[in-house]
Amino acid sequence: ILAKAFNGAGILSWDKNDLEIARRYFEQSLALYRELGDLDAAAGSLTNLGSIASLLGKREESLTLFQEAMTIYERTGNIRRKASVLSN
């Protein structure tokens, strides 16, 4: 539940255009999802982090984060979510 709360707080911060705060919340959610072994949710956090990095002008970082999310979705067979990463 805490991981989802951090993710939700990240989305709210993103909506307010507070990208650095959003990034911190998504990093916290990512760490918890990894600890829980929830690969799809971790990949969602990676995708959010990639989007934030892109908005902050950090192209290389965003590409790395998107690639990691894609790798997870390929492993889990989540084609729909993989397609959502490609749209970023």
- Helix or strand run (H / E) with residue 3: helix 2-15
Predicted pLDDT at 84: 67
Mean pLDDT by 10 residues, the chain (88 residues): 96 98 98 96 96 96 95 82 63
Phi/psi of residue 38, nearest 5 degrees: -90, 90
pLDDT in tens, 29-54: 999 999 999 999 999 999 999 999 99
Predicted pLDDT at 74: 87
Q: Are 46 and 69 in contact (CB under 8 A)?
A: yes
Q: Both tokens of residue 52?
A: 């934030």
In this structure, the dihedral spanned by the alpha carbons of residues 23, 26, 32 and 36, taken in order and rounded to 10 degrees, is -140
Which pTM does this prediction carry?
0.90
